[in-house]
Structure 1
Amino acid sequence: MTPQILRDKLIQSAEALGWTTADVPAFTSPDFRGREGSDKPEVPADIFGLRLGFYPVLVAPITLGDVEQMQRNLRRLNAQMVIARSYMRPEEVINAHIMLCATATIELADWRQVVDMAERDETVCRKIVWIPEANALDESYAAFVARTFLATPWQAAGTTLNAPLDHNENLVQRVLVRHGLPRPVADRWVALAEQYGSDPDTLVTELMTARGQS
Structure 2
Amino acid sequence: MPRPKKVKMLGRAAAEAIFERFHEIEPEPKGELDYVNAFTLLVAVVLSAQATDAGVNKATKRLFELAPSPEAMVVLGVEQITELVKTIGLYRGKAKNVFALSQLLIERHGGEVPADREALEALPGVGRKTANVVLNIYFKQPTIAVDTHLFRVGNRTGLAPGKTPLDVEKALTKQVPERFMLHAHHWLILHGRYICKARKPECWRCPIREWCLFKPKTPLPVGR
Higher relative contact order (CA 8 A, sep 6+): 2
Q: Structure 1 length as normaliser, TM-score?
A: 0.26
- Higher strand share goes to which structure? 1
Q: Structure 2 length as normaliser, TM-score?
A: 0.25
